[in-house]
């Protein structure tokens, strides 16, 4: 059986690290088994869905390298939902209700006050044809609930949480359709997974009770003749991400994919972190997607909340930048910066954007450093001794060491300051050839004069 996973975001906001992690794990699972990874845009909420967020979701997945093998939009699948809904209605698995939000809230408070779970009392099932006619005459449209089968215990083997058991009598029949005819999340999602042949659903542990309800929806849909697979997907519910201050949801704005991208985080760093965060595998700066795919295993996932640390992401990003080949960063580098320059400057970078600052050191102009008189005389001698070769730095320092007796910091630091204006930076063996003979001699002479 071909593995089919899906990522189903609602286009009501930007992708953040929590749902990026879900998408990544679904992609990794599909890739590991040679399966298919689908993108489904859950845009049935017309009031909150925005087309710019649809575009942003696609752009973020492309940036992350998580290319879907197919895309669907719920707003284009409404006829499919109507067909499935009619089948469920004929089978007696959905029913009409008329309580207002205030009435339902009062019922919940009464039950909680009695120490009882706030489960819907199924009052809608007791309504007669006359009751429905009366509501219709008053212009009150019904909302619809899915009728759970209380005689069928709900069980599944969760890919992360292990065996799961739910008593359907302890769950409320979920509202699946509003009075205006629009859909809530639960039923369309189950319909899509059944109709699209999804074999594995990966999502956060906050959806566990939703899964219990949807398992009965799957069963009812299959019994009504809907769905080609006629078999339940496998489910895996991951522990949620938390931050240093607790719930990550309070800080998602700064952790959106677009915000991280704009801050200079490489997609390889974010993928390397999220692929293993919350597992028993070490989080390492792995830029090779093949290694991450091969090591992906739901059996390594833990039950404890996974802690997302921006400092750790920065550390990984730093290490990943040092692995990036020139071809992958060339469009983001300054004009004139070639492969040789990238390899010379890369070890000093924390982010690719920092390459522009180092390239300015190469291309100049630089501010002449203030040197002590003895160091000014020393760099003047360096300008006189400068000759060019495949390794001009070794040649220059070797001649100066023999001529002046200087060594170590006293030998190297004044030269670095005169040539770059800084006390630190890329290896001068690699940097000096990029500066060039004429510019290097001119910088040494300016530093000697104190210009």
Strand order in the sheet with 175-177: 94-97, 143-146, 175-177
Token pair for 430: 């690699």
The neighbour count for residue 168, using CB atoms within 10 Å, is: 18
Residue 246 has a pLDDT of 67
In eight-state DSSP terms, residue 107 is H
pLDDT < 50 positions in the chain: 250-251
Residue 225 has a pLDDT of 87
According to the annotation, is 250 in a ligand binding site? Answer: yes
- DSSP secondary structure of 121-153: --GGGG--HHHHHHHHHTT-PPEEEE---TTS-
Domains of the chain: 326-362 (no CATH), 364-449 (1.10.10.350)
Residue 266 has a pLDDT of 97
Q: Is 379 helix (H, G, I), strand (E, B) or coil?
A: helix
Residue 250 has a pLDDT of 44
Nearest to 444 by CA among 411, 424, 409, 420: 420
What is the rounded distance in angstroms from the CA atom of residue 250 to the CA atom of residue 242?
A: 10
Token pair for 342: 């990238």
Work out the burial of residue 138: count CB atoms within 10 Å of its CB; fewer than 13 is exposed, 13-18 middle, 19 or more buried: exposed
Residue 252 has a pLDDT of 53
Per-residue exposure over 237-275, b if at least 16 CB sit within 10 Å of its own CB, e if not? bbbbbbbeeeebeebbeebbbeebbeebbbbbbbbbbbb
Give whole-number Cα distances, 97 to 86, 130, 184, 188, 283, in Å: 17, 14, 15, 19, 50
Token pair for 114: 């009695």
Nearest to 354 by CA among 312, 392, 327, 324: 324
Token pair for 314: 């920065």
């Amino acid at each position: 059986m071909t593995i089919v996973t899906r990522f189903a975001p609602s286009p009501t906001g930007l992708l953040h690290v929590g749902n990026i992690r879900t998408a990544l794990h679904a992609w990794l699972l599909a890739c590991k088994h040679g399966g298919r990874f689908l993108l489904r845009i859950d845009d049935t909420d017309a009031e909150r869905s925005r087309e710019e967020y649809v575009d942003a979701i696609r752009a973020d997945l492309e940036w992350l390298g998580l290319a879907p093998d197919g895309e669907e939009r719920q707003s284009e699948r409404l006829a499919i939902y109507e067909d499935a809904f009619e089948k469920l209605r004929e089978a007696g698995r959905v029913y009409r209700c008329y309580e207002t939000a205030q009435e339902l809230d009062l019922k919940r408070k009464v039950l909680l006050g009695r120490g009882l779970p706030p489960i819907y009392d199924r009052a809608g099932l007791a309504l007669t044809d006359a009751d429905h006619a009366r509501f219709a005459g008053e212009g009150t449209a019904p909302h619809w609930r899915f009728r759970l089968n209380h005689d069928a215990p709900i069980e599944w083997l969760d890919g992360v949480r292990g065996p799961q058991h739910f008593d359907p009598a302890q769950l409320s029949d979920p509202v699946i359709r509003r009075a205006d005819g629009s859909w809530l999340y639960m039923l369309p999602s189950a319909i899509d997974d059944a109709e699209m042949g999804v074999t594995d659903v990966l999502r956060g542990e906050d959806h566990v009770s939703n899964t219990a309800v949807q398992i009965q929806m799957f069963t009812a849909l299959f019994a009504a003749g809907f769905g080609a697979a006629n078999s339940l997907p496998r489910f895996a519910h991951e522990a949620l991400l938390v931050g240093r201050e607790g719930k990550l949801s309070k800080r998602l704005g700064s952790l959106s994919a677009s915000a991280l991208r704009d801050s200079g985080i490489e997609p390889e760093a974010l993928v390397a972190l999220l692929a293993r965060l919350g597992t028993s595998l070490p989080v390492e700066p792995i830029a090779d997607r093949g290694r991450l795919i091969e090591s992906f295993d739901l059996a390594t996932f833990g039950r404890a909340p996974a802690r997302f640390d921006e400092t750790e992401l920065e550390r990984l990003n730093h290490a990943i930048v040092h692995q990036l080949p020139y071809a992958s960063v060339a469009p983001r580098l300054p004009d004139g910066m070639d492969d040789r320059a990238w390899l010379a400057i890369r070890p000093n970078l924390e982010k690719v954007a920092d390459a522009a600052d180092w390239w300015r050191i190469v291309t100049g102009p630089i501010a002449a450093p203030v040197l002590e008189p003895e160091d000014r005389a020393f760099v003047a001698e360096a300008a006189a001794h400068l000759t060019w070769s495949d390794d001009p730095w070794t040649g220059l320092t070797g001649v100066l060491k023999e001529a002046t007796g200087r060594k170590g910091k006293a030998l190297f630091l004044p030269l670095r300051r005169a040539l770059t204006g800084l006390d630190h930076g890329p290896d001068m063996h690699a940097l000096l050839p990029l500066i060039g003979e004429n510019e290097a001699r001119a910088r040494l002479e300016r530093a000697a004069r104190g210009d």
